[in-house]
Structure 1
Amino acid sequence: MKTRNLIFQFLFCVTGMQLLIAHTLSGQDTIYLDNPSFEDIPRAGTAYTPSIVGWNDCGHALFPGETPPDIHPVPAHAWDVSMQSFDGKTYLGLVVRYNGTYESVSQKLTQVLKKDKCYSFSAFLARSDSYRSGTMRSNAKLENFISPAVLRIWGGNKSCDLAELLGQSYPVDHANWKEYNFVLWPKEDYSFITIAAYFADDADAGYNGHVMVDNLSQITEMECK
Structure 2
Amino acid sequence: MPYSFIKNKWGFFALLLSLSALATAQPTPILLRNASFEDDPAISQPPREWYYCGPPEETPPDVQPNEVFGKNQDAHHGYSYLAMVVRDNNTWEAVGQRLLQPLIAGRCYEFSVFLARPVIYQSPSRLTGFLDNYIRPICLRIWGGGPRCDRREILAASPPVKSTDWTKYTFQIQPFEDVHNLVLEAYYLPEKVPYNGGLFLDAASPVFELDCESRQKLLAVRKVVFSQPSNINELEALIQAQLQALTVDSTSGQLSIQYFTDPHGIDRQANIPLWVIAQALQSFTAWKLEIVVPDHPSHSARELANEITRELLAAGLPGKQLKVRTAVKRDKKRTWPLQGRDGLVWARVW
Q: TM-score when scaled to structure 1?
A: 0.81
Matches of 1:158 and 1:125 in 2, distance apart? Answer: 26
User: For 1:117-165, what per-residue CA distance to the aligned partner results, in whole angstroms no more than 9, with x for missing partners?
Assistant: 00110000001121111243355x3211111010011100011110000
* Partner amino acid, structure 1, of 2:173: L
8 Å contact kept, 1:127–1:173: yes
Q: How many residues in Structure 1 have an aligned counterpart in Structure 2?
A: 192
- Per the alignment, residue 157 of structure 1 pairs with 146
- Per the alignment, residue 63 of structure 2 pairs with 71
Asked if residue 80 in structure 1 is aligned to residue 81 in structure 2, the reply is no
* Partner amino acid, structure 2, of 1:208: N
* Partner amino acid, structure 1, of 2:190: D
- Per the alignment, residue 186 of structure 2 pairs with 197
- Secondary structure of 2:204's match? coil
Matches of 1:81 and 1:150 in 2, distance apart? Answer: 22
- Secondary structure of 2:68's match? helix
- Secondary structure of 1:22's match? coil
**Quick one: percent identity of the two aligned structures?**
39
Matches of 1:117 and 1:161 in 2, distance apart? Answer: 20
- Per the alignment, residue 142 of structure 1 pairs with 131
- Per the alignment, residue 116 of structure 2 pairs with 126
- Per the alignment, residue 49 of structure 2 pairs with 54
- Per the alignment, residue 4 of structure 1 pairs with none
8 Å contact kept, 1:66–1:136: no
- Per the alignment, residue 7 of structure 1 pairs with none
Asked if residue 169 in structure 1 is aligned to residue 158 in structure 2, the reply is yes
* Partner amino acid, structure 2, of 1:173: K
8 Å contact kept, 1:42–1:71: yes
Matches of 1:29 and 1:223 in 2, distance apart? Answer: 14
**Runs of 4+ in structure 1 displaced over 4 angstroms?**
none
- Per the alignment, residue 169 of structure 2 pairs with 180
Matches of 1:148 and 1:163 in 2, distance apart? Answer: 25
Measure how far apart 1:28 and its partner are: 2.4
- Per the alignment, residue 11 of structure 1 pairs with none
Match of 1:222 among 200, 207, 210: 210
* Partner amino acid, structure 1, of 2:95: V
Q: Structure 1 pair 66/183, CA: closer, same or farther in 2 (3 Å)?
A: same
Matches of 2:171 and 2:197 in 1, distance apart? Answer: 22
* Partner amino acid, structure 1, of 2:64: H
Match of 2:93 among 99, 103, 112: 103
Q: Structure 1 pair 64/135, CA: closer, same or farther in 2 (3 Å)?
A: farther
Asked which structure has the greater RCO (Cα within 8 Å, sep 6+), the reply is 1
Measure how far apart 1:115 and its partner are: 0.4
- Per the alignment, residue 17 of structure 1 pairs with none
What do you get for the CA RMSD once the two structures are aligned? 1.4
Runs of 5+ unmatched residues, structure 2: 1-21, 214-350
Measure how far apart 1:82 and its partner are: 1.9
